[in-house]
Amino acid sequence: MGLRADPVDDIVKAQLGAQKIPGAAVAVVKAGRLEKVGAYGMADTERKVPVTADTVFRIASVSKQFTAVGVMMLVETGKIGLEDPIARHLDGCPEAWSKITVRHLLAQTSGLQDFINEPVTDLKADVTDAQLLAAVAKRPLKFPP
């Protein structure tokens, strides 16, 4: 008796090829139970780093709407407030950020500069949140919040 192909593997591999996606991590959950975890392709094609189940995908602006929904869920439950200064929830903020609120971040009116082109924020590099915060904190605000 031969081995049966996994239909999830077949579907994912077909879509990676058809959509020209270099790699993906997939979790299949059924009735709240984890049924399958799969890692496919490359996380970084230049450095030939394969995707693993633990790969962190830096998806930049694609995550903004999901982050905003998560923040608003915290606001609805009273865990944070829109007028809270971000320093209340984020350790390591410089003094220049003292007037930036959660609302400013959501509305993109904080004055924080774009940091994508900074060497430490190369989306292909492995940097910690603390390293990223330190790099962004060094830059002056573009405008007052």
Residues in the chain: 145
Hey, which bits of 1-145 come out as E strands? 23-30, 33-44, 49-50
- Residue in this structure with the two tokens 């930036």, named with its chain if needed: 100
Annotated catalytic residue within 61, 63, 98, 110: 61
55/28 Cα distance (integer angstroms): 16
Question: 90 Cβ partners below 8 Å, 6+ apart?
Answer: 133
Specify the DSSP class assigned to residue 125: S
Is 61 a residue of the active site?
A: yes
The closest alpha carbon to 101, from 77, 74, 82, belongs to 82
Residue recorded with tokens 């007052």? 144
Query: Catalytic amino acids?
Result: 61
